[in-house]
Amino acid sequence: MAYPGFHQLHPELEDVGALDIPVFHDTDNSPLYEDPYQGLLRDIVAANDVVALRLYHANPHTWTRVFRKDYMNPHWHPFLVAKVHGCGDALRVLLEIYLSDPVYQMPRYPPLEEYLERWAFSPIHMACATADRGLILWLLSDKQRNGYESPLAMLRDPGNGYGGRTPLICAVGARSADDDVDEDDADA
């Protein structure tokens, strides 16, 4: 997928030498640069572009870390971008990055569960709300956590930030919305 808005170095970063290195190269081999607000990362997550997300994460520079300690605008957080755009594939890669990158295992980063709670985000609620069966099964499995830890999610997750709705209620809501669309299509 192409990201033409990021082929040039952001004007605010022109005088910062280390940031003039491309994050990776676009599909047309043009260099891609991040802006000071993680705009490239947000576009990648919103597009559900897991190949670009993995390339972004593979960049060794600290200024392209996928997760930051703080965000100027909380809605810019990659998990919340995935939620708003219903991007289950990108969410799964984001979770894999947080769980596997040694940087996020350092004491300054909390365990994933605490980090998700801080951002009022529940992956299982998002997966159920978007009816993403593959993501739901992956979250409920303990295999992605080395088989000895509990799964990333449970169906009785209280869902901080979801108005007390359980994941199953979110799934029913998603299914009801699909049924409404199907009925409308049948009337046409």
Tell me how far apart the alpha carbons of residues 15 and 91 are, in angstroms, rounded to a whole number: 34
pTM of the model: 0.81
Q: Could you tell me the two tokens for 150? A: 């509990």
* pLDDT band, very low/low/confident/very high, at 50 (cuts 50, 70, 90): very high
Mean pLDDT of the residues in the chain = 80
Tell me how far apart the alpha carbons of residues 71 and 144 are, in angstroms, rounded to a whole number: 28
Phi, psi of 124 (to 5 degrees): -65, -35
Q: Could you tell me the two tokens for 43? A: 């576009």
Residue 184's pLDDT is 46
Residue 11 has pLDDT above 80, yes or no: no
Residue 173 has pLDDT above 70, yes or no: no
Asked whether 56 and 50 are in contact (CB, 8 A), the reply is no
Phi, psi of 31 (to 5 degrees): -70, 145
User: Could you give the C-alpha distances from 4 to 28, 29, 41, 81, 84, in angstroms and in order?
Assistant: 10, 11, 13, 20, 22
Residue 183 has pLDDT above 90, yes or no: no
Mean pLDDT of 89-93: 96
Phi, psi of 25 (to 5 degrees): -110, 140
Residue 17 has pLDDT above 80, yes or no: no
* pLDDT band, very low/low/confident/very high, at 77 (cuts 50, 70, 90): very high
* Strand-pair partners of 25: 31
Mean pLDDT of 104-133: 88
Mean pLDDT of 163-180: 60
Asked whether 32 and 43 are in contact (CB, 8 A), the reply is no
User: Could you give the C-alpha distances from 76 to 37, 81, 124, 158, in angstroms and in order?
Assistant: 8, 6, 20, 24
| Of 24, 21, 13, residue with least CA distance to 49 | 24
Tell me how far apart the alpha carbons of residues 102 and 93 are, in angstroms, rounded to a whole number: 15
Asked whether 144 and 138 are in contact (CB, 8 A), the reply is yes
Residue 6 has pLDDT above 70, yes or no: yes
Phi, psi of 28 (to 5 degrees): -95, 15
